[in-house]
Structure 1
Amino acid sequence: MSPSNQLQERLNLLTWGLQPIITKLDITNVFLAVIAIAATALVADYARMLYLRSRMPPGPFPWPIIGNTFSLPKNKPWIHFEALSKRYNTPLITFWIGRNPTLWINDAWAAQEIFEKKAQIYASRPRMVVFGELGSGQSSLVTMRLLNNADREHWRIHRKLMHIGVGVQSVRGYRAIQNNESKIVALDFLRAPYEYVKHLERYATSVVSIIAFGRRVASYNDPIITEVIALMQLAADLNVPGKSFPMLLETFPILAKFPRFMPWFKGLGVRRQKGGGHFFFQTLAEEACQQYDAKSPSEQASMPTPYAKILATEAQKYNLPDAELSSLTGNLFGAGADTSSSTLVTFVLACVAFPDAMRKAQQELDRVIGPDRSPHWDDAPNLPYINAFVKEVLRWRSVAIIGGQPHSPTQDDYYNGWYIPKGCWIQGNVWAIHHHEREFPDPDRFYPDRYLEGNEYKRPFPGERGYMTFGWGRRVCSGQALAEQGTWVTVARLLWGFEFKKAVDEKTGEEIDVDIFAFTNGLNMRPVPFRCQILPRSDEIREAIVREGEQALRDLKVHEGETKYRMSTFYQQMKKEVGHEPVLDEKGDVKIVKVK
């Protein structure tokens, strides 16, 4: 072998021997390069966060990637944001959910300036992973993002269709329904006062069921009540910022790309991703239209046309898919039942905890109305204290405690020199707004007098209503007029009819105090269960309650009916009937796919 060949062979042997080391070095270099790139990206992203923080309203210092998420309290974060606003002495605070800044408005005048005066640019929604992308997304009026002209036109169509159902001009046509159903609530309170929460849930559910489907809910044992309210309360829980799953998906949105069987999706529900809720409400709407068409002309003339029937006709002009049609009736049916009943449970708590306000209202009712009939909206001009009482119910413990869904600006904006970036999450903290000592001295006291002229507690407040319970601007609650109308007549009638008192311990004979701070944690909060006594105020009033309630039952007979569908068993029922399972295609229309 020549010297050159020997040298080449030795080099080959050396290279072969060093190959594992070279390979290992290559892997190490790649690994180090990846780490370097990731570290650079992390530093750059954190620098972006700190730069934004220097321009935005003050708030706690954020950590990289996780922001301030893990400093959130387990319950009632709106109280935490109120405390931060006081600590930094500012109407707006910035709180980082992961890498994204969220702004919280804790002042009525700032909310008015931003959400009302600049309503056009604050009408959109931010990116919402849990309630938006994993929920209804662009198919629902509530969650639609307005990122371009097509989105805005799409949203206007939905808003127009919702106004047909519950707009200011439409709700006066529902007064007879609300009036009769509230008379039945009074009758139910007389017969089974200990079930007052169920009576109020039945009332609220029945009103929206008649409006949406032309069919009343006659019994509080009807499963559709508890199922729909439970669904709405779940949805409310999915709107409260949190440091546990599924709300941690807002901090780590990449996890939303994983298959739905992963543990962090627990609590969302499989049907939620399949659009099942949409098809359930669509099925109810189709059933309601068939039942309405089967009624005689005289029966149809004696009742409002169900919203589902109106929607089926109107929506043909816009070629809306099934998911969007059903979301309109679903939003009306679900949200109206939960929020209205929660408001009325809060009213009962206020009467028990603050009997002086209740008695003052009853004195006015006795003077103006008397014991022979219950109050009506026509009496409102002569009942200034009742009007103030209802306002205080809506202010004292507002149900939509963080003002509904978050807003998001469609362009960069400024407030008092602070930067508000396009697309950020901005929310009104109704708790802080309604408990600001400047507008509402002694805010936890239920004190309707604060709304009366000449009272020392009366303070200036933006807007004529004196509260911001239903949100702001173009995203104000569509059902506000219906809710206010129903709350007024029900509160006035129950104050006229009943004395609300603390429950008495059977063993000790002592009164059981109620806790005015014991409320649930969801977006739509309500009092935790409490006991109380509900007693008719006189024999004359008792007789009037029975007379009016029985007449109301006769008047509502045209709305009697029953659905054969139940949310909890809907899919099993559909598979039993047709052997297939309903889902939604990419366009949002219902299709049937065979179950394997």
Structure 2
Amino acid sequence: MISERLVSDSLIFAKMQAVVSQYGTANILLAVLAIAATALVADYAHMLYRRSQMPPGPFPWPIVGNTFSLPDNKPWIYFEELSKTFNSPIITFWIGRNPTVWLNDAWTAHEIFEKKAQIYTSRPRMVVFGELGSGQSSLVTMQIRNTAERDRWRVHRKLMHVGVGVQAVRGYRAIQDNESKVVALDLMRDPTNFVKHLERYATSVVSVIAFGRRVARPDDPIITEVIALMQLAADLNVPGKTFPMLLETFPILAKAPRFMPYFRSLGTRSQKSGHYFFHTLALEALAQHAAKPPNALPIVPYVTTLFTASAAMDPPLPVPELSSLVSSLFGAGADTSSSTLITFLLACCAFPAAVATAQRELDAVVGPSRSPTWDDRPRLPYVDAFVKEVFRWRSVAIIGGQPHAPTQDDAYKGWRIPRGTWVQGNVWAIHRNEREFPEPDRFAPERFIEGSELWRPFPGERGYMTFGWGRRVCSGQALAEQGTWITVARVLWGFRVERGVDPKTGREKEVDIFAFTNGLNMRPQPFECDIAPRSEEVRATMEREGREALEGLKVYDGESEYRMSTFYKAMKGKVGEEPVVDEEGNIKIVKVKG
């Protein structure tokens, strides 16, 4: 067999030598170059033909498209400018040989993503965040190109809805209420570290819901490491002309060995390792709950519901999919919610008049002897509008989350949007369109009070598009809106939030309302603010309610033994565990080979 192969290879090599001898090396190279040039011209002609059918946009170059026209930071501002340049709410921008369509207008986004939600449910090919990240196991990146993928996505969506759907999150109000009271206590005792307190709050709420275990300390590694991971993931969603995002322009480079230098900029572990971290956290929580008396927790942790549901399936969900559903809770709740609340404090510093109006309403309705509750919401229309303006003014998911992709060729106002095209909503441009939001950079809750001078019609009932659209809307929307409302209302009620003061001059420090990070989930750059109780009576109330909240949260006390920074090395080659549900519905942990 081997000798036959050697003979065959020898014959091929001999034929190649004969061809080179007959035509000459130079002629062969010229022929290869001619074929390559012909292929390049044909490919470019096809690009231009496709461009002629699609929405307007800058003229693309062969192979690289418009990639190297991208700015170094905040491309959503550039796409907003392109929309104005071409006088079109929808533009086409080529990332390499692939067109991306950007929607810069609320009504256009509504007509495409909402009215045509059935065909805009899929995701496009995402090399960096998808193929090199979570793959197709994640609800966030999952493509829907056929019936089997649609059925699988529906299973994931249903399981996530059980955890954080509109009905489910009502059961978490007591957790969010108590944790926001603890935030007030933390801000009162240590106002300088407000970012850490808000990150602890957001992460703790999600941890209780997911694992039945709260996060008590702001320096807990589960906060710093998981939020750092989420912020890295957000960075890997922003179009760019440097690595790693340059892999979207040249996807063939993703096939190279992982030791290539440009892979270091991904900063991520392998897909398998990433899945196992969150899976192991879930198994740890299941084991801890199994050791407690029945009904020890006021809520059923999401991992219990998820693993029980999976065990009842035939076949059960694989480890990567279980893990991705757990990690998606953190993605939908920890980094985004804390960033929203940090943005809220920046708005308070920059626009004190809006704060004063909200506090007058709170004083009239609530008073100083207790903090606000959800029952007060119908009587707090300005505070309600204030929270909506927080979501609108500097939306965290600035380009509306992950891109959509049509499952079939679509037509919109005479333009063609091919199947599988990357279609993105530019929330920055949508929320700053002066037609709907006059003076868009001014923080003005009056925009959301119908009949006011600033109120304008807007598609949808909420008046903002912060959480995305259609069937791929953010799963954690209801949880985020509920938690943000009670926390914003409580901080406004309890604190004077003002710009930091320069100790040398005694003057207030300026705050920059445009200084935000560059990731998909943006947050303010570090700034100083002065946070103090509004009165001694309010201080006493916050102290009392904070202590009561900590007592109520004791049932969720606990800590994980795992740390993301050390997990992968420690777990390498070890025996793992998986849950099994017996005939009575009880969860047991069994050992399996890793």
Q: Which whole-Å CA distance do the structure 2 matches of 1:495 and 1:268 have between them?
A: 40
1:497 aligns with 2:494: yes
Question: Aligned ranges for residues 88-127 of structure 1 at < 5 Å?
Answer: 88-127=86-125
User: For residues 398-445 of structure 1, what are the alpha-carbon distances to aligned partners after superposition, in whole Å with 9 as ceiling and x for unaligned?
Assistant: 000000000000111111111111111000000000000000000000
Q: Which whole-Å CA distance do the structure 2 matches of 1:269 and 1:462 have between them?
A: 39
Partner of 2:302: 307
Q: Choose from 218, 221, 224 the match for 2:219.
A: 221
Q: Choose from 468, 475, 480 the match for 2:477.
A: 480
Q: Which whole-Å CA distance do the structure 2 matches of 1:130 and 1:367 have between them?
A: 52
Structure 1 residues 313 and 48: CA distance shift in structure 2, 3 A: same
Q: Is the 8 A contact 1:406 1:425 kept in 2?
A: yes
Alignment-mate amino acid for residue 468 of structure 1? M
Q: Choose from 155, 158, 161 the match for 2:156.
A: 158
Partner of 1:230: 228
Partner of 1:445: 442
Q: Choose from 351, 354, 358 the match for 2:355.
A: 358
Q: Which whole-Å CA distance do the structure 2 matches of 1:471 and 1:66 have between them?
A: 29
Q: Which whole-Å CA distance do the structure 2 matches of 1:196 and 1:373 have between them?
A: 22
Q: Is the 8 A contact 1:260 1:270 kept in 2?
A: no
Secondary structure at 2:265's aligned position in 1?
A: coil
Secondary structure at 2:531's aligned position in 1?
A: strand
Aligned residues: 563
Q: Is the 8 A contact 2:20 2:28 kept in 1?
A: no
1:295 CA displacement: 1.7
Secondary structure at 2:135's aligned position in 1?
A: helix
Alignment-mate amino acid for residue 425 of structure 1? W
Alignment-mate amino acid for residue 36 of structure 1? A
Q: Which whole-Å CA distance do the structure 2 matches of 1:293 and 1:580 have between them?
A: 20
1:379 aligns with 2:400: no
Partner of 2:188: 190
Alignment-mate amino acid for residue 308 of structure 2? T
1:580 CA displacement: 7.3
5+ long unaligned stretches in structure 2: 1-16, 578-590
1:40 CA displacement: 1.1
Q: Is the 8 A contact 2:113 2:120 kept in 1?
A: yes
Q: Is the 8 A contact 1:571 1:581 kept in 2?
A: no
1:161 CA displacement: 0.4
Q: Is the 8 A contact 2:132 2:271 kept in 1?
A: no
Q: Which whole-Å CA distance do the structure 1 matches of 2:476 and 2:568 have between them?
A: 30
Q: Which whole-Å CA distance do the structure 2 matches of 1:262 and 1:330 have between them?
A: 28
Q: Is the 8 A contact 2:369 2:537 kept in 1?
A: yes
Partner of 1:284: 281
User: Which shifted more, 400-409 or 329-338?
Assistant: 329-338
1:46 aligns with 2:44: yes
1:317 aligns with 2:312: yes
Partner of 1:132: 130
Q: Which whole-Å CA distance do the structure 2 matches of 1:384 and 1:335 have between them?
A: 27
Secondary structure at 1:462's aligned position in 2?
A: coil
Q: Which whole-Å CA distance do the structure 2 matches of 1:467 and 1:78 have between them?
A: 17
Q: Which whole-Å CA distance do the structure 2 matches of 1:558 and 1:579 have between them?
A: 32
Q: Choose from 368, 390, 414 the match for 2:411.
A: 414
1:74 CA displacement: 0.3
Partner of 2:335: 338
Q: Which whole-Å CA distance do the structure 1 matches of 2:140 and 2:339 have between them?
A: 20
Partner of 2:560: 563
1:290 CA displacement: 1.1
Q: Which whole-Å CA distance do the structure 2 matches of 1:104 and 1:497 have between them?
A: 41
Secondary structure at 1:47's aligned position in 2?
A: helix
Kindly name which structure, 1 or 2, has the bigger radius of gyration based on alpha carbons. Answer: 1
Secondary structure at 1:94's aligned position in 2?
A: strand
Partner of 1:586: none
Alignment-mate amino acid for residue 412 of structure 1? D
Q: Choose from 52, 75, 78 the match for 1:77.
A: 75
User: For residues 207-263 of structure 1, what are the alpha-carbon distances to aligned partners after superposition, in whole Å with 9 as ceiling and x for unaligned?
Assistant: 000000000000101011010000000000000000000000000000000000101
Q: Is the 8 A contact 2:332 2:475 kept in 1?
A: no
Partner of 1:532: 529
Q: Choose from 51, 62, 65 the match for 1:64.
A: 62
Partner of 2:12: none
Alignment-mate amino acid for residue 87 of structure 1? T
Partner of 1:12: none
1:22 CA displacement: 6.4
Q: Is the 8 A contact 2:133 2:268 kept in 1?
A: no
User: For residues 116-138 of structure 1, what are the alpha-carbon distances to aligned partners after superposition, in whole Å with 9 as ceiling and x for unaligned?
Assistant: 00000000000100011111121
TM, length-normalised to structure 2: 0.93
Partner of 2:398: 401
Alignment-mate amino acid for residue 60 of structure 1? P
Q: Which whole-Å CA distance do the structure 2 matches of 1:581 and 1:295 have between them?
A: 22
Structure 1 residues 255 and 386: CA distance shift in structure 2, 3 A: same
Q: Which whole-Å CA distance do the structure 1 matches of 2:226 and 2:271 have between them?
A: 18
1:396 CA displacement: 0.2
5+ long unaligned stretches in structure 1: 1-18, 583-589
Secondary structure at 1:426's aligned position in 2?
A: strand
Structure 1 residues 20 and 87: CA distance shift in structure 2, 3 A: same
User: For residues 171-207 of structure 1, what are the alpha-carbon distances to aligned partners after superposition, in whole Å with 9 as ceiling and x for unaligned?
Assistant: 0000000000000000000000000000000000000
Alignment-mate amino acid for residue 335 of structure 1? A
Q: Which whole-Å CA distance do the structure 1 matches of 2:196 and 2:593 have between them?
A: 36
Alignment-mate amino acid for residue 240 of structure 1? V
Alignment-mate amino acid for residue 339 of structure 1? T
Q: Which whole-Å CA distance do the structure 2 matches of 1:269 and 1:428 have between them?
A: 27
Partner of 2:25: 27
Alignment-mate amino acid for residue 487 of structure 1? T
Alignment-mate amino acid for residue 212 of structure 2? G
Secondary structure at 1:197's aligned position in 2?
A: helix
1:21 CA displacement: 12
User: Which shifted more, 29-38 or 97-106?
Assistant: 29-38
User: For residues 296-331 of structure 1, what are the alpha-carbon distances to aligned partners after superposition, in whole Å with 9 as ceiling and x for unaligned?
Assistant: 23523xx21110111010112331100000100111
1:172 aligns with 2:170: yes
1:375 CA displacement: 0.5
1:572 CA displacement: 2.8
1:292 CA displacement: 1.3
Alignment-mate amino acid for residue 528 of structure 1? Q
